[in-house]
Amino acid sequence: MEPSSRLITADRFDAVLFDLDGVLTDTSSVHALTWKTVFDEYLNERSARTGEPFRPFDIDTEYRHYLDGRLRYEGARSFLESRGIKLPPGSPGSPSSEESVCGLANRKNDLIAREFAANGVQVFDDSIRVLKRVRQKGLKTAVVTASHNCEAVLRAAGISNQFDVHVDGNIADRLGLPGKPAPDTYLKAAAEMGVTATRAVVIEDAISGVQAGRAGGFGLVIGADRTGDAEALRENGADFVLKDLSDLV
């Protein structure tokens, strides 16, 4: 793709839809480590109780494949099923001590909330430059994320006033929207802004996210290569992949 075709301009597009973790904020690694803490503790306890061999959670393969970019409960269920573990689903109100899909996912949410409160949130400067520039050009912007902590993260990052629409895990739960790689949350954000998918750009760092952008028929799907996954992002739907998003504007 020619460099000029990468540019996000008002004559080609009406809106840009950003993923949160790994695109706007440098929080994917924190999410991955928090999931590892929860799953390793559970798998180790389960091993001691059942005699099953303990195999620790692998961030490089299992986080990227089963959890990155997905709604919290869907991701937890997907990982557990990959290990042949079937737990009761629980409910969003399940205590974090409960041995259920929702219980484990809520345990993770408790840990990540404490982490953000203690250490704050780092942003990716290249994404913030793109965000501010496209708004100056008159394009609408949305954040579309599986996170249930979207509002708190945006406030901590100082960018909560930079978006016309937020579609997060709480909204997906309330409306019964399937998470990425299904395109529904991205399509919901586009509809809320009154724009068509073909006139909108999706920026994602997760494989499930670029799959969602492609499935939704968005006019441009951009992969942000934060972890060396450029080829996988291309293979799964990204029109092109950049390490530095500043070139987009």
Q: Active-site positions?
A: 19, 21
CA–CA separation, 239 vs 84, rounded Å?
35
CA quadruple 62, 66, 69, 72: dihedral sign: negative
* Beta bridge partners of residue 220, listed in sequence order: 201
Q: Which two tokens stand for residue 240?
A: 């092109």
Q: What SS3 state is found at 38?
A: helix
Instruction: Report DSSP letters for 152-199, one per residue.
Output: HHHHHHT-TTS-SEEE-HHHHHHHT---TTSSHHHHHHHHHHT--GGG
How many angstroms from the chain centroid is the CA of residue 62? 15
CA–CA separation, 224 vs 75, rounded Å?
21
DSSP H helices in the chain: 3-6, 28-50, 72-82, 101-119, 125-136, 150-157, 169-175, 184-193, 207-215, 230-235
Q: CB under 8 Å to 58, separation ≥6 — which residues?
A: none
* Beta bridge partners of residue 222, listed in sequence order: 203, 240
Antiparallel, parallel or unpaired: β 240-242 and 165-167: unpaired
